[in-house]
Structure 1
């Protein structure tokens, strides 16, 4: 049912859309347009209807679609809507996660509220109403090439809002008309311009990329924390974090990572038993994680720019009397950024897997038993966890091949070069989840190593996270299934990282010249 707006977090549509808002939109949320948004949407709609009434050619409203632009469209607005949507219902594969689809609806809402797409105000209100519930259209994974917008997935979303196809409500997959009825929503009526404006943007692409960014930034904080805990557990000297050394390296983000590691290790006492130089999985963590931070910062700026822009075609500029046809639905910027996210996550995964290997190797782990087994041979410690981690990082490496350069001409050569940003973004989102599993795996091993070593870390920040892991996960003695506990450890790391993640979000917004925070206020 439609939830009372007073009971939901309220987010003004006049502010900047951020990845944090996209993550929040997985749950019911109230988006408040304000009078200025309503005015510009209404004025643009009026100009659009006048332009169409004056006999101007307006792509998709008076014409056919794609390479059929030279042919007239349907005369009736409702029939033109059917014309726009029905031929695009050709997607394949399993459904996207409802959180991704709701993120895409949020991006679409924000873009349409810029007053450049000529949609009716009813479209804005219908999207807002759907997002105040748990309603999420059922959208197949494959179909978009990330050019001319995410046409096929967004067509499924638009049809569900009309009561056609399927949708999720409270996690249950239902016929869309039944989901709307249960949610207290009415089927949305659309004309041709409305329908095209709903599908003609890269909203699925940037929603998935934004959610991937949130996850990987959180994992970056987890990587810093786990690297510090590993260093402390092994008794390694922190000489590799010397500020002078990192300043000489010349990369500010590497110096930032080193400072974060020094803070986490403050109060620790090296054992004095380690070799002069540690393996790269310890010694080079500031250089590797600093590079990751730089890449995440770049991706955050690109995604912020995309979220602030208008992804549609044509666009309407009432103040200039202009109907502008072009390519603002071409998802190349986010395609490149998403591939960078995927590559960054993969190298961070390589680091986590090698750190896990270091911790289970009796020749390098400071005298701990092999595989961190309490009774090696009679027990097997985290052996299965390491096997699964190896399989996971192998999958990440295979998936790290860039999608953004795989252009294939399609659509009668109307779309003769395409960015495949949707596939790049969905891959980045999957990589974010895999990286989270790897950090959960390493965290289970850290917890087991703390049990076997029998000592509490002298570094308070490290001791805090290890204590949280100890509280959540019993020692592995005897052997037991650990799949759920890997995910539980990842949850602990997520919670530990949220404050730092919020700081990173603020940094990224500043880098993107946002000038403000998320403008989220909870009633």
Structure 2
């Protein structure tokens, strides 16, 4: 059992309970996780039920059998050896370690699934995961290895082995041997018995966690895109008719109506210059329709991921009240795989918008006469020219890696897994896209701030004035030229930290 001497964090999260993407983001820091007495009792009853069925001669996958296509062969007769057998052959992940926040969120999702009382783990396993999450201990988990079917087997096996003091781990952000990290955290190595090992790895918890984290970041990015669009329109002196209520009501898409309402709130008080074209480029004029579609996609993904966070991804499942052990495929992450690929599409199109808005802003033929590249002395200075080059490269990378993972099925595991969803790759891909989009928004924000320095009018809508003032306080004007990589990241951090509620 894992025992923690670290003080618990607050607020307390008692499981089982529906998890949210925001809670998973908070898992990067120590969390005060508690297991309800009812969950502990259900786990114990489920374990007793499974033990009784095995004693009566029942064949139960992974408890009395080999794993995967070797299900037709008997497993180890000693329960502890069977646990070792489940984990040893899965210790073959490759690639860079997953970020600490992703791994900690994964542990929380796995614990939430196990507390629902169908996996027949020992109550000590529940206590151990909760204890680890109260500390700064994080297993080192390589990125490559999961096909998102039969669970995220290889990544979760690495996580479990670290909890046992084997392999590598982090304490805080410092990598070290897992045994040393456990010691730093005041934890004892996890001891497994019975079906513990298989239940810990036989679920799509990494897929669910990564998708939920991507969703949380893209929800912020959606709000940021609305804010930056409004500021761009105000700096240029645009007419806000593109967000008019009757226009968008006639379009008929509720999320476009919502996006329009958000833009109208942000642009409330705007005074158009009267010098802009009758119709703005699509990167302004069509933003309610584009960002409305993004909003629809985020809402759908939120529904699907929410179902996953409330479910049980394991096999087999025990139902003592029905006297039944059900073998099936709840570890098959197809729903979240589709949702994660949808998040990627939404992220890339939002990135397309940001990159085109940046291009509009630096073009003297379309930006209302501001200098090219927003340079105070074009030729002698280059201002955001490099920022646009980097933004173009970032967007190209986003497009290049946007191929859906959820349809890339390849048979594996001796054709036991003859169709697989690759949900893990879809979810991690969406998380990568969210980070890239954040940098594109930071790039656009730096350019908007620079536009104000080189002659763009001061915004007239109060919400836009407030946003520009925040940007000016965070990013100095580019005069003279300087490296802007840190400024882009600082602007992205600022935008992430703004309230998600928009004026209406």
| CA deviation map 1:14-41 (0-9, x unaligned) | 4211111110111100112222222212
Do 2:269 and 2:461's aligned partners in 1 also have CA atoms closer than 8 Å? yes
Say if 2:177 is the partner of 1:175.
Answer: yes
Residue in structure 2 matched with residue 4 of structure 1 by the alignment: 7
* Alignment counterpart, residue 423 of structure 1, candidates 416, 422, 425: 425
Residue in structure 1 matched with residue 80 of structure 2 by the alignment: 78
CA distance in 1, matches of 2:363, 2:5: 55
Aligned residues: 501
User: Tell me, what secondary structure is at the counterpart of 2:72?
Assistant: coil
CA distance in 2, matches of 1:12, 1:466: 41
Residue in structure 1 matched with residue 487 of structure 2 by the alignment: 485
User: Tell me, what secondary structure is at the counterpart of 1:453?
Assistant: coil
Do 1:60 and 1:192's aligned partners in 2 also have CA atoms closer than 8 Å? no
* Alignment counterpart, residue 357 of structure 1, candidates 359, 362, 365: 359
* Alignment counterpart, residue 321 of structure 1, candidates 318, 323, 330: 323
| CA deviation map 1:296-341 (0-9, x unaligned) | 0000000000000000000000000000000000000000000000
Residue in structure 2 matched with residue 226 of structure 1 by the alignment: 228
CA distance in 1, matches of 2:203, 2:438: 30
CA distance in 1, matches of 2:120, 2:375: 65
Residue in structure 2 matched with residue 152 of structure 1 by the alignment: 154
CA distance in 1, matches of 2:296, 2:270: 28
Residue in structure 2 matched with residue 53 of structure 1 by the alignment: 55
User: Tell me, what secondary structure is at the counterpart of 1:173?
Assistant: strand
| CA deviation map 1:88-111 (0-9, x unaligned) | 011110000011011110000000
Do 1:370 and 1:376's aligned partners in 2 also have CA atoms closer than 8 Å? yes
| Change over 3 Å in CA distance of 1:169–1:498 after alignment to 2 | farther
Residue in structure 2 matched with residue 508 of structure 1 by the alignment: none
User: Tell me, what secondary structure is at the counterpart of 1:104?
Assistant: helix
CA distance in 1, matches of 2:499, 2:225: 10
| CA deviation map 1:265-288 (0-9, x unaligned) | 001110100111000000000000
Do 1:137 and 1:157's aligned partners in 2 also have CA atoms closer than 8 Å? yes
CA distance in 1, matches of 2:437, 2:313: 30
Residue in structure 2 matched with residue 256 of structure 1 by the alignment: 258
Residues 417-426 or 456-465, more deviating: 456-465
Residue in structure 2 matched with residue 443 of structure 1 by the alignment: 445
Do 1:219 and 1:435's aligned partners in 2 also have CA atoms closer than 8 Å? yes
Residue in structure 1 matched with residue 374 of structure 2 by the alignment: 372
Do 2:236 and 2:457's aligned partners in 1 also have CA atoms closer than 8 Å? no
* Alignment counterpart, residue 246 of structure 1, candidates 240, 248, 260: 248
Deviation for aligned residue 1:240: 1.0
Residue in structure 2 matched with residue 337 of structure 1 by the alignment: 339
Deviation for aligned residue 1:499: 4.3
CA distance in 1, matches of 2:463, 2:475: 19
| Change over 3 Å in CA distance of 1:132–1:97 after alignment to 2 | same
Deviation for aligned residue 1:500: 5.5
Residue in structure 1 matched with residue 294 of structure 2 by the alignment: 292
Structure 2 gaps of 5+ residues are none
Deviation for aligned residue 1:497: 3.9
| CA deviation map 1:240-265 (0-9, x unaligned) | 11111101101010010001001000
CA distance in 2, matches of 1:55, 1:182: 44
Residues 434-443 or 184-193, more deviating: 184-193
User: Tell me, what secondary structure is at the counterpart of 2:318?
Assistant: strand
Query: Structure 2 length normalisation: TM-score?
Result: 0.98
Residues 330-339 or 233-242, more deviating: 233-242
User: Tell me, what secondary structure is at the counterpart of 1:239?
Assistant: helix
Say if 2:126 is the partner of 1:127.
Answer: no
CA distance in 1, matches of 2:152, 2:98: 13
Residue in structure 1 matched with residue 410 of structure 2 by the alignment: 408
Residues 166-175 or 13-22, more deviating: 13-22
Do 1:61 and 1:80's aligned partners in 2 also have CA atoms closer than 8 Å? yes
Residue in structure 1 matched with residue 391 of structure 2 by the alignment: 389
Deviation for aligned residue 1:4: 1.5
| Change over 3 Å in CA distance of 1:2–1:357 after alignment to 2 | farther
Do 1:385 and 1:482's aligned partners in 2 also have CA atoms closer than 8 Å? yes
CA distance in 1, matches of 2:239, 2:499: 25
Residue in structure 2 matched with residue 510 of structure 1 by the alignment: none
Which stretches of structure 1, 4 residues or more, deviate above 4 A after TM superposition?
A: none
CA distance in 1, matches of 2:252, 2:156: 45
Residues 467-476 or 28-37, more deviating: 28-37
CA distance in 2, matches of 1:148, 1:156: 15
Do 2:265 and 2:502's aligned partners in 1 also have CA atoms closer than 8 Å? no
Deviation for aligned residue 1:49: 1.4
Aligned CA-pair RMSD: 1.3
User: Tell me, what secondary structure is at the counterpart of 1:69?
Assistant: helix
| Change over 3 Å in CA distance of 1:500–1:408 after alignment to 2 | farther
Query: Structure 1 length normalisation: TM-score?
Result: 0.94
User: Tell me, what secondary structure is at the counterpart of 2:143?
Assistant: strand
CA distance in 1, matches of 2:268, 2:290: 21
CA distance in 1, matches of 2:366, 2:113: 54
Structure 1 gaps of 5+ residues are 504-523
CA distance in 2, matches of 1:395, 1:32: 42
CA distance in 2, matches of 1:287, 1:111: 38
